[in-house]
Amino acid sequence: MSRVAVVTGAARGVGAAAVRQLAADGWRVVAADICADDPGVGYPLGTREQLRQLAGEWPDSVRDVVADVRDQAQLRNAVETAEREFGGVDAAVAAAAVMAGGRPLWQTTDAELDALFDTGFRGVANLARTAVPAMLRRAEPRSGRFVALASAAGHTGLYHLAGYNAAKHAVVGLIKGLATDLRGTGVNATAVSPGSTRTEMLAATAAYYDLDDVDQFGPHQLLDRILEPEEVAAAVCWLCDERSSAVTGTVVHADGGFTA
């Protein structure tokens, strides 16, 4: 029987790469994204067309759902879509996040902090609060997986990105607490902390530092290059797999050695 996943932030970046890899591995996936811009974020977010195109690559196994992770009711609709069309939920990937900042914390606006925490932290919590009960509804023995995208910024300070640092530290803390709540249930909770990865979010970050090219972040990582979304998604998808059964309450550092 095919396993079923719900992935947020799925229109592009690591979220889209995770959807593609899961579908290629035989999963059925509900791919969710807000498909709209956020006034607290200074760059365009994923679009409805990108999400439709992703689902069109896998018409038998991927369903696209417009959902704002800040709205628990919209996420509940995504989870119910997975249960109705595919029979349940075995994994949930919280990949939706935004970047805002580029100034000292005392110059960071309320709108920027709201965007960082409402999407990057509360969105993770909202997905857990909707998807985990669906995983617990699965018959025993269960092997559910909740995987959040944290960041190297969740483990170290980054210049002029204190709000982003704080939101990602909060994600790491949430995962530790969630895993503890899930003790003995058969559902694991983990996070993946990427380093600099070739995404629109990294391009926005480069603009904060007046960098012409995202590849200029490469020397900060031991690999001496930035990562591709597919490399980070590979760690995410392994954590979704039943073979990751020994891993919970912790972080996989898919960061190219950024935090080494």
Average pLDDT (171-180) is 98
Q: Per-residue confidence at 2, pLDDT binned at 50, 70, 90?
A: confident
Does the structure show a pLDDT above 90 at 230? yes
Q: What is the pLDDT of residue 19?
A: 98
**What 3-state DSSP class applies to 197?**
strand
Indicate if 159 belongs to the active site: no
Q: 252 with 239: CB under 8 angstroms?
A: yes
Express each pLDDT in 65-118 by its tens digit: 999 999 999 999 999 999 999 999 999 999 999 999 899 999 999 999 999 999
Q: How many Cβ atoms sit within 10 Å of the Cβ of residue 131?
A: 29
Percent helix, percent strand, percent coil in the chain, to nearest 5: 45, 15, 40
Where along the chain do its domains lie? 4-252
In CATH, what class is 4-252?
A: alpha beta
**What 3-state DSSP class applies to 185?**
coil
Express each pLDDT in 18-64 by its tens digit: 999 999 999 999 999 999 999 889 899 999 999 999 999 999 999 99
Average pLDDT (207-212) is 92
Q: Per-residue confidence at 1, pLDDT binned at 50, 70, 90?
A: low
Whole-model pTM over 0.95: yes
Percent of the chain with pLDDT over 90: 96
Q: What is the pLDDT of residue 106?
A: 97
Q: What is the pLDDT of residue 140?
A: 85
**Residue pointed to by tokens 């195109």:** 53
Does the structure show a pLDDT above 90 at 3? yes
Looking at residue 227, what DSSP letter applies?
Answer: B
Q: What is the pLDDT of residue 139?
A: 84
Task: Round to whole Å and give the CA distance between 40 and 123.
Answer: 15
Tokens of 108: 């960071």
Does the structure show a pLDDT above 90 at 150? yes
Spot the catalytic one: 43, 159, 164, 209: 164
Does the structure show a pLDDT above 80 at 156? yes
User: Whole-number mean pLDDT of the chain?
Assistant: 96
Total count of residues recorded for the chain: 260
Task: Round to whole Å and give the CA distance between 197 and 220.
Answer: 12
